[in-house]
Each structure stands twice: as C-alpha cells, then as structure tokens.
Structure 1
Amino acid sequence: MITAFIMKIRGVVYNFGKQKLSTCPVKDDVTVFNRQVYYQKLGSQQDFDSKPNDWDDALPFEKIPGPKPLPIIGNTFRFLPYIGDFYGVDLKELQRRFYKQYGRIAILKDLKVAKNIVLLYSPEDIEKLHRNEGVWPHREVLNSFTYYRNILRKDIFQGIGGVATVQGEDWFNIRSKVNPILMQPRMAHQYIDKMDEVAEDLVKRMRQLANRNKNREMPPDFIKELNKWALEAAGLIALDRRLGCLDDLVPDSETQKLVDYVIEMFWLIYQFDVLPSLWKYISTPLWKRYITVLDYITLTFVKYIDETAKNIGDKLQNKAEYEMSILERLLKLDPRIAKATAIDTLTAGIDTTGKTTGAALYFLARNPKVQTKLREELCRVLPTKETPVTKEILAETPYLKAVIKETTRFCPIAIVNIRKTLKDLVLGGYQIPKGTIVHTANGVLSLEEEHFVKSKEFIPERWIRNGEKEISCKNTHPFVFLPFGYGPRACLGKRLANMEMEIVLARIIRNLFLEWPHADMKFTTTLVHGVGDPLKLRVTEVDK
C-alpha cells in the first residue's frame, strides 16, 4: 500500500505494452499508400494469447537454471557492496560467467530492476524470440529517463518523449514518421561533405595534441576528443550547424559542459535503471544531480533547436522536400517530434559513436598489419590527403567497412538486446510466459569460437565477401551478431553512425600512423560497452 501510494504521488504510471498482438494476416489489399493503416490494423488485431504447440512438452519456467534468490530480498543482494558476489563485476563478464555455468539459457530471479530476467545464449532461440515479437516489439524503456521526459518535463516534450520512451501504437506512430527521414541513404549522403570537414578538424586536433607530447601520444582523456567530434558530427544532422566542439575549449564552456554532462548522463542512467535503485521511492542527492544534468542537456539543446528553427523560418514553405535537411523535414512533419528526435540524436550519438571509434583506433594501432592494409585501400581511393571523401569513394572501401564490423563484434556498444515477450514462448526447452523480460547475450556470443573462427583475434577479412573460406563468417548464424539490434526497433541512427565512422577513420588512417605501446586495453560496461583505459595512442604523420 505504501509503495503504491508513493508511486502514485511520483506520477510514475506507465501504460506501455498493453496492445494485444498477433501475426495473423490482414485480408485487406496492401499497397504502399495504405501501409501505415495496414500495420495499425495488424497491430490492433493481433492476439498472442494462444500457447505454442510445444508448450506442454517444455520444462516449467521455474526450472530455468540460475543463481538462487533469497527470501524477500531475492538476488538483489548479489549486486550490493561487501556482501554481493556480483558487485563490481563487469556486466559482460557476468554474462560470460552465466554462459559457462548454466549453458544456453539462464535466469536472474527476483531483482528490483525487474522481477525476472532471462538470458539467451542460443542464436536459434534469439531468432525465435525476435520472430515472435510482432509489429510493435516491446523493448524495455529506461524508466528514470522516461519519467523525466513524460512526467517531470512534460511541458517541454509535450507528449512526445521520443521513440525510446514509448511502446505499442504510440511508438509506431512516431517511428513510422521518422523512419523515412533518418533511414534513407539519400538523406545520409547529403552530410558527407560537412562530416568530412569535421573529420579533418579532428585530424588537425590530433596533430596539435601529439605536438604537445614528446612521445607524440594522445592525452589520457583523448576519448573526450572523440566525444567532442561525435557531438560536432551529430550537430550537423540534428541542428544544421557547427558547434565548435573541436576548438580548445575551457572546462566551463557550454560545449564542454554538454559533452561532460552527456557522458555523466549515461553513467547516471546506469545507476538508476540497470543497478538496483530506490529512485522511485525516495529522492537522493544522486537523483537530484541526475535531474540537474538532464535539465542542462535538455534546455541547452532546446535552445539550439529553437535558434535553428527560427533561422529556417518561412524558408520551408518554398523548399522542395528533396532539398530539405533532416531537421527541416522533421520540423515540417511535427515540431514536437523534431525536438525529441534531435535531442536523441545529439545525446545518443556522443558516447556510443565516440566509444566505437575509439575502439576501432585501438584495434588498428594494436594490429599494424590490419592498419597497413586499410591504409593501402584508402590511398587507392584517396590519392592525396586533400582528396575529398564522397559517397562514390565510400562505396569502394570494403575493408574499411569490415574493420568497423570487426570492431563492433569485439566491442559492441550494446552487449544485449532486450525484449519483453508478448506471447507465451518455448525457449531453450523451457516455458517462457508472456510478459517476461529477455536479454539476448549477443556480446558474449560474438566472441565464442563456435560462431567465429579465431574469435579472439581481430580479423576484418572474415567480413569480406568471397574472402578466405577458413575465416569467413558467411555460415555464422545471422542472429549471433546484432550490433544495432533487430527488426522494427533496430537502431534508428545505424546508417548515419556507420557513415560518420567510415569518414573519420578514413581521414585518420590516411593521414596518421597509429601505435599502441601499452598493455592491452581493458573494456568496461555500464549503460554502454567500450574502452575502459586511457586511449593514449601514439601518432606519427603519413608522408604523402
């Protein structure tokens, strides 16, 4: 009763995932023009109440192996300091331990963050899960983040908190509108020239930093420079403007604070939505800090968006759609959607793209033969350092794309994909009831020898079409490697993020040699997975 009363006061009432879903076909004729209506009908007509044919032959849910919970406190104690055997253990390492101890399916029961979490380590089961998620898949939201946007600051977001905060038809109504804008290759290609300029600025910045050190090493906090590059690139897409992130910024400057606060935001979300937390019941100093950080990020980005919208003004009325930028098209569609999507693009792109690029640079420095082979490819398509990057040039860089894929195999930003089952399923030979939270442990599977030959070695050649058969991943199960998720809820920014990384890696490797004269990099996991040690790359100039 007390808990319910507190939750009511806090206003945390979520109505996500209540749509009844089914995969039954709709009899109406379907055309491109009524596709949205078709999917709305399909979603509303789906019924996932029937049990699968193999349900009665499966083992009961209670028999799924996993650490035994204690009465009342469940398994939450395992994550607490001093008494918990999981405390301080990296999440990817914890998932790996579960795989070795329990096999292809495991469960964490009785947690504060979720009643039960099932972990899948079988690509066949992962495929089955995704094939049965319906047209409106339910991916668990970040509750503290959703509460901030939909409750605390609903005056700013006006009912549109973004695709990451909603489920069901509400999610579909937003996603179906932004997909044609953010996922089109043509929309991404219009930013290549400007992104190339930003990449060139990062190379200049790296030269400056190298010249300040007698060993020509990047500073211990070089990952911050990559985060600033990522914000600068995201600003082109979300705001149609340069932010000046790669200048020599003073610590208290607005831009530097934005970068620092976004990184802190990811860490705080991890504290409230991944680790056990009482934020729903009591306000703590850490919670107040979280709101301060989110307010600064939100209000600063809203200011930028409003300035851009004001500059655009009435120009939209006389502009053909094919000439419009992503922000212009979003503003024309719905200013509320434009605001939420722009803020998501700016915040989500900093730590994720920055860390993946940092990992790629580390692997290239750590594997000089791979770096040399990539540079040879780049020198063919970029004969001089000044040759501009174009979409035609990017199309001729298969090894560059393979390097990025191999980086995300070794170091995926998201080590799991999360779904809530919308029907009863049999997974791993066990009954999985409707409404169960399931984590697919793709980050662990991608480093297993049964799926990738020489899985602990950085070998981009495995991704080259018609490459060496001995190392090819052509026959690897397609649901082992899902770095951007799967299906309708796959990452919206996949195309843009890949293009940003292709351009910046092309510029860096074409201009600079990278070395790694240190011990092996440690990778860590909080809300995202990535480099955990100082990224002290040693750089020298490429002659021509």
Structure 2
Amino acid sequence: MFKKLTKLRTFNANFICTNHSKRTSGTIDISKKDDYYKNLGDAEENIDVKPPEWDKALPYESIPGPKPLPLIGNIFRFLPFIGEYYNLPMKELHEAFKRRYGNVVSLTGIGKEPIVFLFDVHDMEKHLRGAGAFPIRRGLDSFTYYRTVTRKDVFKDASGILTIQGVDWFKVRSLVNPVLMQPKTAQQYIGSMDKVTNELIKNIRFFSTQNEKSEMPEDFQNELYKWALESIGFLTLNKHLGCLDLNAPKDSEPQKLIWSVNQMFLLMHNLEIMPATWKYIETPSWKRLVTVLDYVTETLSRNIEETLNKTIPEDVPDEQLNILQRLSKLDKRMAFSMVIDLFISGIDSSGKTIAAALYLLAKNPDKQKYLREEVYNNLPDKNSPITKEILNNSPYLKAVIKETTRIAPVFPGSSRTTIKDSVLGGYRIPKGTEVISMHIISANSEHFKDHEKFIPERWLRTEDSDYSYKNVHPFASQPFGFGPRSCVGKRLANLELEVAISKIIRNFELSWHHEDMVFSGLFLYGIERPLRIRVKEV
C-alpha cells in the first residue's frame, strides 16, 4: 500500500507543477471572478425569511418515519438478523417508506443528520427549484472523506465537483459546462463512439456463434461495462484501452478497473447507510473501499499523465482535443479530478442503462420494430458510420432511452440541502436539512398510464394520447437530476447510448426467451439476472 501511495503523491506533484506542453502549461486564475460569484449569491432571496405558510405548517418532529429508540435510535433496523431494512435494495427501501409513511418521510437516529424523503412531484419541484444558485448536494460521505481527508495529499484542493459545495462548486461547474454540457461539443465525439460500438458488435456476433441458441453469455452485463469504459477512455483521453479485446486476460487492467468501481458502489451502500464509525475506526468495509479507490485513482492517474505528456501543436483547434486536454487548458487540477469522476460515474451508469434498454427492446418486439424502421431509414448500410445528422433525425431512438431511464433510473434520487426554512408537504423543513427527491416515482401509476409497460411513444412530441408526457408533471421523471447540479455527463452518456443502441438494432434482432428480468440493486438500480439476450443477424 505504501508503494502505491508514493506513486499517487508523485503523480499529483507532476500533474500540478509540470508543463506538459505550451498549450496546457498554466491554469486560469478563477479567483478574479469572485466578485461575480458573490453578487450572484447575494441576488438570491433572503434566506433568513420564513415562508408565508410556515406558521400554519406542522412541526418537523411530526413528519412520519421509522421511530427511533432511546440510545440506539434507528440503527437496529439496519443491522444483520434483526433489522427489517438490513441489506434491503435501495428501491425496495424507499418503496417501503412511501407505502408505510406517505409522501414525506423523515429518517433519524442512524448516527447522521436527519434525512427527509419526498415522493410528491409538487414538493419535489418546489424543493429543487428553491435550491439556489449554488445547490448543496450532500451524500457519499465516504467518497468525500477519502478525497478530502484520507488522500488529501493526492487531490489537494481539487477533490472534484462531487465533493465541493457553494461558490467553490459553482466556479468549477462554470468551467466544465462549456466542455461537457453543450450538445455541439458532445457531437464531435460521435466518430469515436462509432468505433467503440463496432467493437461491441463484433463481440456480440462472436458470442452468438458460441451456442446453438445464439444467446449472449451469462456475464454479458460485464461486456457492456467494458463498452462503457472504452467509450469513456475515448471521450476523455482519446485512448484505446483495449477493454473489448476478447483475448485479454480476465485480470486485465480494464477488468480490474470495472471490478473496483462496482465494488466501490457496493461498499458505499453499507458505509453510507450505517453510522459513520469508519471515520474513527478503520472498519473492514472502509479498508476495502480505500483499497479499491486507491487502485482506481492510481490507474487513472497514470493514464491521465500519459495523455498530458503528449505534445499538442499550437494550431490544433479545440474541437480536435479530447476532454482532458480541453479541461486542462482551463485548470489542470480540476481536469484531474473531473476526468476520474467521469470514469467512476460512467462505467456503472451507462453499462446498466444500455443493459436495461436492450432487455426492454428484446422483451417488446413491436417497439424494437419501430426503432429498427427508423434506424433503417437513417442507416441503409449497416456498416456506415453514425453521424450527427442521423442522431438528430432519430426521435424514436431518443424516446427509447427516455423510457428506459423512466422504468429503470440508475440513481435512486436527487439530494439537495435546504438553504432556508421551507414548507414541504405541509411540514416545516428547517434550513440545512438534507432532502432527497425520489426517482422511483417515475415508475408509478400515479403519473404514467400503464407505468409498468415499455412505451417509448410517451416521449414523442407528436404523441397526444393519454400516454403523452405532455400530460405528466415534468418532475415525474428526472433520471439525470434537475437544475445547476444535474448530471454533468448526461450529454456524453446519451451520446454513447444513442450510437450503441442504434447500431446494435441495425445489426441484430433481439429476443428474450426467459422469465422476466428482475431490476434491483443495493446502491444503484439495474438488471439483477444474466442478460441472456438472443440475437439474430439482420
């Protein structure tokens, strides 16, 4: 372990201090914009003024929720053998809260600050819209602690937008948005995504020959994680990581990276729900988390350094640079943590989403047929590359992705801390309370007709029936979050999915011949059984 940490410290010093090229030799002094940020914050309404309905609202203590016992609080509910919520998947836990306690639920007595869960779209909209110019998003304490305490010498003051708040967060987000959030910026990477998808299609074709049913192997979900990792490698580093090489050993670096990220989320389930004793005592789960995060940080740091050591000619336009190079022109330290965050968040989320989409298309041949007709019109030759014109002319493809994330949102909810006293659901919510708007309502009959059915037509602008999204509250489905702190990688994620799904459907007919898939997850949500999709060449 000591050897690894030495490497990490050495890399950090090189990364921040060394001029890798003239083009990326400095950082922008964003402190000069402090007056602007201060004025923006001051422009928010007075956070000390209570809302008009405060006096008539019920006190915070009356919010329903699991009742804590003296001394031990609610901890016992999450303990092995005796706890009703022990190892309960996140979605099932939240559904149990809503079913038992209603649309506003308070969870106290677990060794952390109280948490309020919202299940009503009107409360969710009110809360998220009132989060201010610098929304505070708590959560993932273990991840924040790792970067800001355990490995502070590595990340220093550039621990990433997942771990900082307020003006500091806004400064960084203001820098990365033009690079990551503009559609035209994402479109410049279509060619790279096309190359990665072609590798995945080649592997699917190979797997289909390995059994008489032409079914994908039981670990096909892992193949989709490899596709997600390879995609991020091209996007951020313009580097071919070799993730989809069928001859690669099972313990290859990409595979270890995927395993480490998956383990990270599993370990966080325990560390985030249970009392934070790991801050004072090195629990086994905490030690394992540090080990896997050290591997992720060391591996990605080495790849980042290799990319930045390449000299870039001065006349190369920005649109020909990879994301790391573009971010490094703005601030090297920020680029370091930002790229690592994109890898960590992208592997599991994109891998799970495409798995859900392929299953739902295989399970619903009529919807798959509609999509294939659209793809055929845009891509008469299956070997032709995807272009931005093709994606811009693919409304049903986009609807398929939206319907997939409605049915199976990867993340359980959007967390924001109240910046002022508020009233939600008729209850007083004091300033500084963590409130989570729950994504599970997107698969709820209260908001979507035939909510359990896969109906991409809901999201078409031409759809005017009872199924149309126009008849649904806009906050009923927010898989990427809302507002300034929505997912910074959503443009890139959608690009990956659009290219991959369209080319897979253009090459193969998918079918499903097993019992219905189970969707669940301790921390993130996705398929829980082998993705044994059957494919047929078209």
Give TM-score, length-normalised by structure 2. Answer: 0.91
The 2-side partners of 1:118 and 1:153 are apart by 31
Deviations along 1:42-61, one digit per CA (max 9) or x if unpaired, are 22565411211110000111
Q: How does 1:408-487 map to 2 (within 5 A)?
A: 408-443=405-440, 445-487=441-483
1:80 aligns with 2:79: yes
What is the one-letter code of the residue matched to 1:453? Answer: K
What is the one-letter code of the residue matched to 1:341? Answer: M
Give the secondary-structure state (helix, strand or coil) at the position aligned to 1:148: helix
Q: How far apart are residue 535 of structure 1 and its match? A: 1.0
Aligned to 2:387: 390
Q: How does 1:127-166 map to 2 (within 5 A)?
A: 127-166=125-164
What is the one-letter code of the residue matched to 1:529? Answer: Y
Classify 1:85/1:343 alpha carbon distance in 2 versus 1 (closer, same or farther; 3 Å): same
Q: How far apart are residue 276 of structure 1 and its match? A: 4.1
Contact 1:461–1:468 (CA under 8 A) maintained in structure 2: no
Instruction: Tell me whether 38-47 or 137-146 shows the greater mean CA deviation.
Output: 38-47
Classify 1:212/1:275 alpha carbon distance in 2 versus 1 (closer, same or farther; 3 Å): farther
The 2-side partners of 1:95 and 1:371 are apart by 32
The 2-side partners of 1:82 and 1:70 are apart by 18
Q: How far apart are residue 285 of structure 1 and its match? A: 2.9
Q: How does 1:182-261 map to 2 (within 5 A)?
A: 182-248=180-246, 249-261=248-260
Gaps of 5+ in 1: 1-33
Contact 2:87–2:522 (CA under 8 A) maintained in structure 1: no
Instruction: Tell me whether 383-392 or 324-333 shows the greater mean CA deviation.
Output: 324-333
What is the one-letter code of the residue matched to 2:348? Answer: D
What is the one-letter code of the residue matched to 1:376? Answer: E
The 1-side partners of 2:138 and 2:306 are apart by 33
Give the secondary-structure state (helix, strand or coil) at the position aligned to 1:164: coil
Aligned to 1:331: 328
Q: How does 1:513-532 map to 2 (within 5 A)?
A: 513-532=509-528
Contact 1:210–1:216 (CA under 8 A) maintained in structure 2: yes
Aligned to 2:39: 41
The 2-side partners of 1:454 and 1:196 are apart by 35
Give the secondary-structure state (helix, strand or coil) at the position aligned to 2:105: strand
Deviations along 1:438-480, one digit per CA (max 9) or x if unpaired, are 111122x112222111111111011111214121121211111
Aligned to 1:67: 66
Classify 1:264/1:470 alpha carbon distance in 2 versus 1 (closer, same or farther; 3 Å): same
Contact 1:447–1:455 (CA under 8 A) maintained in structure 2: yes
Contact 1:202–1:246 (CA under 8 A) maintained in structure 2: yes
Contact 1:274–1:527 (CA under 8 A) maintained in structure 2: no
Contact 2:216–2:534 (CA under 8 A) maintained in structure 1: yes
Contact 1:238–1:343 (CA under 8 A) maintained in structure 2: no
The 2-side partners of 1:428 and 1:262 are apart by 37
Contact 2:271–2:285 (CA under 8 A) maintained in structure 1: no
Contact 1:356–1:407 (CA under 8 A) maintained in structure 2: yes
What is the one-letter code of the residue matched to 1:434? Answer: K
Aligned to 2:53: 54
Contact 2:186–2:492 (CA under 8 A) maintained in structure 1: yes
Contact 1:271–1:277 (CA under 8 A) maintained in structure 2: no
What is the one-letter code of the residue matched to 2:530? Answer: P
Give TM-score, length-normalised by structure 1. Answer: 0.90
Give the secondary-structure state (helix, strand or coil) at the position aligned to 1:163: coil
Contact 2:67–2:74 (CA under 8 A) maintained in structure 1: yes
Give the secondary-structure state (helix, strand or coil) at the position aligned to 1:474: helix
The 2-side partners of 1:416 and 1:141 are apart by 11
1:533 aligns with 2:529: yes
Q: How far apart are residue 324 of structure 1 and its match? A: 3.1
The 2-side partners of 1:95 and 1:285 are apart by 27
Aligned to 2:296: 297
Give the secondary-structure state (helix, strand or coil) at the position aligned to 1:513: strand
What is the one-letter code of the residue matched to 1:167? Answer: Q
1:488 aligns with 2:484: yes
Aligned to 2:286: 287
Q: How far apart are residue 118 of structure 1 and its match? A: 1.1
The 1-side partners of 2:33 and 2:183 are apart by 21
Give the secondary-structure state (helix, strand or coil) at the position aligned to 2:516: coil
Contact 1:141–1:164 (CA under 8 A) maintained in structure 2: no
The 2-side partners of 1:501 and 1:346 are apart by 16
Deviations along 1:219-249, one digit per CA (max 9) or x if unpaired, are 1111110000000000011112110100022
What is the one-letter code of the residue matched to 1:429? Answer: G
Deviations along 1:183-238, one digit per CA (max 9) or x if unpaired, are 11222111101110101110111111121122211111111100000000000111
Select which of 491, 496, 499 maps to 1:500: 496
Aligned to 1:126: 124
Contact 1:137–1:488 (CA under 8 A) maintained in structure 2: yes
Deviations along 1:61-120, one digit per CA (max 9) or x if unpaired, are 1111112111111112111111111123222122222222222212112122x3311111
Select which of 369, 372, 377 maps to 2:369: 372
Give the secondary-structure state (helix, strand or coil) at the position aligned to 2:478: coil
What is the one-letter code of the residue matched to 1:516? Answer: W
Instruction: Tell me whether 330-339 or 269-278 shows the greater mean CA deviation.
Output: 269-278
Give the secondary-structure state (helix, strand or coil) at the position aligned to 2:277: coil
Gaps of 5+ in 2: 1-31
Contact 2:148–2:155 (CA under 8 A) maintained in structure 1: yes
1:362 aligns with 2:367: no
Percentage identity across paired residues of the two chains: 50
Give the secondary-structure state (helix, strand or coil) at the position aligned to 2:423: strand
Q: How far apart are residue 368 of structure 1 and its match? A: 0.9
Give the aligned length: 505
Q: How far apart are residue 370 of structure 1 and its match? A: 0.7
What is the one-letter code of the residue matched to 2:119? Answer: Y
Q: How far apart are residue 428 of structure 1 and its match? A: 0.3
Deviations along 1:225-284, one digit per CA (max 9) or x if unpaired, are 000000000001111211010002212221211111111112122221234452112112
Aligned CA-pair RMSD: 1.6
Give the secondary-structure state (helix, strand or coil) at the position aligned to 1:426: strand
Aligned to 1:14: none
The 1-side partners of 2:52 and 2:207 are apart by 63
1:401 aligns with 2:398: yes
What is the one-letter code of the residue matched to 1:76? Answer: I
Classify 1:35/1:166 alpha carbon distance in 2 versus 1 (closer, same or farther; 3 Å): closer
Instruction: Tell me whether 363-372 or 97-106 shows the greater mean CA deviation.
Output: 97-106
What is the one-letter code of the residue matched to 1:75? Answer: N
The 2-side partners of 1:272 and 1:207 are apart by 41
The 2-side partners of 1:140 and 1:45 are apart by 23
The 1-side partners of 2:364 and 2:235 are apart by 33
What is the one-letter code of the residue matched to 1:525? Answer: G
Give the secondary-structure state (helix, strand or coil) at the position aligned to 1:446: helix
The 2-side partners of 1:141 and 1:84 are apart by 22
Q: How far apart are residue 525 of structure 1 and its match? A: 2.4
Classify 1:284/1:102 alpha carbon distance in 2 versus 1 (closer, same or farther; 3 Å): closer
Higher relative contact order (CA 8 A, sep 6+): 2
